[in-house]
Amino acid sequence: MDHNDKQVEQGSADTADNTVAPSRRRFVGAVATTIAAAGTAAAAGGAMAQASGAGQGSGAKRKPNHPKPPFKRQQQEWPALAGKMTPRPDHGETTYRGSGRLAGRKALITGGDSGMGRAAAIAYAREGADVAISYLPFEEPDAQEVKALIEKAGRKAVLLPGDIRDEAFCKKLVDNAAQQLGGLDIVVSNAAKQHSVDSILDLTTEQFDWTMKTNLYANFWICKAAVPHMTNGGAIIVTASVQAYDPSPNLLDYAQTKAAQVAFVKSLAKQLAEKNIRVNAVAPGPVWTPLQVCGGQPPEALETFGGDTPMKRPGQPGELALAYVTLASDDSSYTTGHVYGIAGGSGQP
């Protein structure tokens, strides 16, 4: 998924003491240092320009007043639209600034119409990548907004609607993305199904199968189809969840798929290391996305959603964008098989 045969230096956290053996602590430090440095650049201003205008280094402008509970009780039919949520999620539409960290790359993002997928799509385009997104046909209004934002950044946008529960579609999705983009450097496996069910006695086989097909089978099919298209320096990023480590009782099927994704990432990373294709995951905590308002949480729980974190609020998708950029870029050239948690001070890893 990633790209050319460029080799870049490791971040400052990696070079500060090259006598220390690689470890999880050094990985977390390296990624955190990269993100912190990028955020500092965004605040201080940088010399690089992005396609959509003058950039000030990668990252988002400071926006301290993120929405906090209580939220309006609301519910939409699956799969829900970001445009109909109250408040509307912040995907970085007006805040994310790029600095060319993904210039010339070709990225496929599943579930790229909303949530973390949309945030990644916006950020990737502003970092110089062409982007293809997949989504369900019902989500076309959200997808059109993303297309406009990608094109406003001066990059190519490819829309590929369909149901990833179908193996044939997953293969076609990857092939079409590679063909229309002119290659494939980055794959973000982000689309997911989540539905709250309080008791195992009420969890139907149909619901269980739907979750497994969307979260596990599709992830496997898409990554398998993508690998032959990818070259030295490619990157696969899977959206896992803190549910993999600290599962909620009402998300029995969803949580186990996220735990399986973590194992998938760690195993596939070892397989593809010799090809220099890196495989990592982002594990979000509570994030304000359409997934939550169409059955992912009970309607009454939405009123206080994210309020039990140390930050007393849910994350906004745009707050995770820089993690997806960093893991896709050459800044993380020695990072593979790792999970980066973003959960407002709660959860693991």
> What digits encode the pLDDT tens for the residues 215-228?
999 999 999 999 99
Task: Give the number of other CB atoms < 10 A from CB of residue 86.
Answer: 10
Phi–psi pair at 339, nearest 5 degrees: -120, 125
For the entire predicted model, the pTM comes to 0.82
Assess whether pLDDT exceeds 90 at residue 177: yes
Task: Decide if pLDDT at 139 tops 70.
Answer: yes
Catalytic residue (one of 96, 135, 245, 254): 254
pLDDT of residue 60: 65
Query: Which domains are present in the chain?
Result: 76-342 (3.40.50.720)
Q: What pLDDT does 47 receive? A: 33
CB atoms within 10 A of CB 76: 14
Question: Which range (35-39, 159-163, 240-244, 263-267) has the least confidence?
Answer: 35-39
Whether the upstream peptide bond of residue 299 has omega within 30° of 0, thus cis, is no
Q: What's the pLDDT score for residue 116?
A: 95
254 counts as catalytic: yes
Residue 61 pLDDT: 63
Distance CA 238, CA 292 (A): 19
How many Å separate Cα 88 from the centre of its chain? 18
CB 312 within 8 A of CB 293: no
Q: Which region holds residue 347: left if phi is over 0, alpha if psi is between -120 and 50, else beta? A: left
What letter would DSSP give residue 287?
B
Record the tokens describing residue 3, joined without a space: 């790209």
- Residue 95 near residue 126 (C-beta atoms within 8 A): no
- Calculate the average pLDDT of the chain: 85
Q: What is the pLDDT of residues 10-69, one digit of tens each?
A: 343 343 344 334 444 444 444 444 444 444 333 333 333 344 443 445 676 666 689 888
pLDDT of residue 310: 93
The continuous run of DSSP H or E covering 41 comes out as helix 24-44
In 3D space, the residue among 283, 225, 235 whose CA is nearest the CA of residue 259 turns out to be 283
pLDDT digits (tens, 9 = 90+) for 61-95: 666 689 888 998 888 888 888 888 888 889 999 99
Q: Is the pLDDT of residue 162 over 60?
A: yes
Q: pLDDT tens digits, residue range 275-299?
A: 999 999 999 999 988 878 777 888 8
Confidence at residue 85, expressed as pLDDT on a 0 to 100 scale: 83
- In DSSP terms, which residues pair with 160 in a beta bridge? 134
- Whether 207 contacts 306, CB under 8 Å: no
- Number of other residues whose CB lies within 10 A of the CB of residue 36: 13
